[in-house]
Amino acid sequence: MSTATTPATSVPLYDAKTHLSELGERAAAGEEIIVTKHGKPRFKLVAVDPPKRRPLPGSIDLGAAKEQWTALAEYDWFAPDEEIERLFGTRE
């Protein structure tokens, strides 16, 4: 099984400096551009992978855990706990 790849475009350094914006757009579109100096490859211009985006709040399906988070959110955390007060002597 062979994988056909598009041959890279070779551009002299002077031309690359002169046409950098155009070459950058071509590279971003997926073309591989080899920049040469005195006929020898020096570097190549290629597209970068797009940055990974973080999921927006609420966009992740928590499944069953969602109900647990809802229960925690609805708990009255500031209500007095009679057992703790009794254990530590704050309630008679």
pLDDT tens-place string over residues 41-83: 999 999 998 888 877 766 666 666 666 667 777 777 777 777 7
Binning pLDDT at 50, 70 and 90, where does residue 3 land?
Answer: very low
Alpha-carbon gap, residue 14 to 20, rounded angstroms: 10
Distances (CA, A) of 76 to 49, 72, 81, 88: 46, 9, 10, 20
| pLDDT exceeds 70 at position 4 | no
pTM of model > 0.75: no
pLDDT at 50: 81
Query: Does residue 10 have a pLDDT over 50?
Result: yes
**CATH fold of the domain at 9-45:** YefM-like fold (3.40.1620)
**11-40 pLDDT tens trace:** 999 999 999 999 999 999 999 999 999 999
